[in-house]
Structure 1
Amino acid sequence: MSPLPELPAEFHSALASLRDARHRSELTLAEVPAPARLAPFGVAIGAEVRLEGEEMATGRFILLHDPHGSELWGGKFRIVTYIRAELESDIGNDALLGNVAWAWLVEALESQGAQYSNAGGTATRILSESYGALAARPDSIDLELRASWTPEGTSMTSQLEAWANIVCTFAGLPPVPDGVTLLSPRRRKS
């Protein structure tokens, strides 16, 4: 077995900055295996928003690093993300939903002051209809956002914070201004 390569200083700095990122309490983050073939170095973080036991949104944040840089990326780092949430049909059927999902990404990055370039992505609505033995399942509409961008610098704190905010937006959570803490909703007794 060959020894593990030593982490480049820039990647080590980026990893340390990810640990400094803050996020809402409704969001759970955990390191997951990073894809090995996309770059010499990478880290991946999985996210999940659950409310009262129900999954509201999931996602993955992947930070890639190539010490030699990539012409395609326009830099030494690349962030690749995926977010998915099930929507109510009145929202999921909106023809402008893809534009809205992309706007959420851009606005979140800008509001966190996350500097970036070369952004691209797709927003996809998925209608699931069940038949036969599964006919009792209600129809569902999922929204998926797959995006990537080149972050500037080695601090990834604002990048991860912006992405965490987008996952919460997909989950339908209202934005929280700085310095404000939301109280947990009370459960009504039946």
Structure 2
Amino acid sequence: MAANSDVAAVPTPFQRAAHDLLNAAWRPELAVEEIPAPQKIAPFAVAVSADVLVGGEDVGTGRLVLLHDPAGNAAWQGTFRCVTFARASVEPEMVTDPLLARVGWSWLIDALDGHGAEYAAPSGTVTSVSSESFGGMADEDPNAEVEVRASWTPLLADGYGLTAHVQAWGELLCTTAGLPPLPAGVVAMPARRLAHKSQNRSPRRR
């Protein structure tokens, strides 16, 4: 929704879901902020980005976009859609593993299932790339990355229930970056107001 738009015009289910996203509790390794949502994909959208930080070092990054079309979307099989990517550096030998793509996809599905998130129509890709420098750049270390791009339909009851999906997304980011799951009994950091990269601080209407 544009900054000068009437918030009352935003559907209540989307307001609820956007609130859950923007007020989520995150693992301490995640630095999350609201970013401008993409335009023209859906009537309503809100988005966040995150960096995975360990010892002050950025070891992974990702983005989550929540789309909403009150009229429904046949391709989504619902009125909401989560769209994400998660990317992290990995050991160069990992990208030669023929099972990496399947394992990377399982990180998302296992996270959703593990948090009890109800969803439909998951789809996506897992990409791995590696690079090695030569000549005048030969001193640089080899680099390898894995990236998960995915979308799924969260099955929300009148906008309620997104928290499980948000928690699953946070776990996907951390798993992609090589972090273990939180130990039993350890909870995520309490919710705090997200930073913003733009002056638009409301869920967007398109």
**TM-score, length of structure 1 as denominator length:** 0.89
Q: Which one of 96, 101, 108 corresponds to residue 98 of structure 1? A: 101
Query: Given the alignment of the two structures, is residue 164 of structure 1 paired with residue 170 of structure 2, yes or no?
Result: yes
Deviation, 1:181, is 6.5
Matched with 2:142 is 139
Q: Which runs of 5+ in 2 are unaligned?
A: 189-206
Q: Residue 115 of structure 1 is aligned with which of 113, 118, 128?
A: 118
Deviations 1:7-53 (A, max 9, x none): 11110011122245322101111101110121111011101111123
Cα RMSD after superposing both structures: 2.0
Contact 1:20 1:157 in 2 (8 A): no
**Identity of matched residues, %:** 43
Aligned-residue offset at 1:156: 0.9
Aligned partner of residue 172 in structure 1, secondary structure: coil
- Aligned match of 2:77: 74
Q: Deviations over 1:66-108 (max 9, x none)?
A: 1111111111100000000000123232111111111111010
Distance 1:180 1:62 in 2: 27
Name the aligned partner's letter for residue 4 of structure 1. S
Q: Which one has more relative contact order, counting CA pairs under 8 Å at least 6 apart?
A: 2
Change (3 A) 1:2 1:100: closer
The aligned counterpart of 1:65 is 68
AA in 2 matched with 1:30: E
CA distance in 2, matches of 1:19, 1:31: 7
Number of positions where the alignment pairs a residue of Structure 1 with one of Structure 2: 182
Cα distance change of structure 1 residues 176 and 3 upon mapping to structure 2, 3 Å threshold = closer
Contact 1:77 1:150 in 2 (8 A): yes
Letter in 2 for 1:150: T
CA distance in structure 2 between the partners assigned to 1:11 and 1:2 by the alignment: 16
Q: What is the deviation of 1:113?
A: 0.4
Preserved CA contact (<8 Å) 1:46 1:60: yes
1:121–1:74 distance in 2 versus 1, CA, 3 Å = same
> What is the CA deviation profile of residues 113-161 of structure 1, one whole-angstrom value per residue up to 9, with x for unaligned ones?
0000000000000112224443322221100000000000122101010
Partners of 1:111 and 1:177 in 2: how far apart? 14
The 4+ residue runs of structure 1 with deviation greater than 3 A are none
Q: Name the CA distance, whole Å, in 1 between partners of 2:3 and 2:24.
A: 33
Q: Secondary structure at the match of 1:136?
A: coil
Inter-partner Cα distance in structure 2 for 1:133 and 1:156? 50
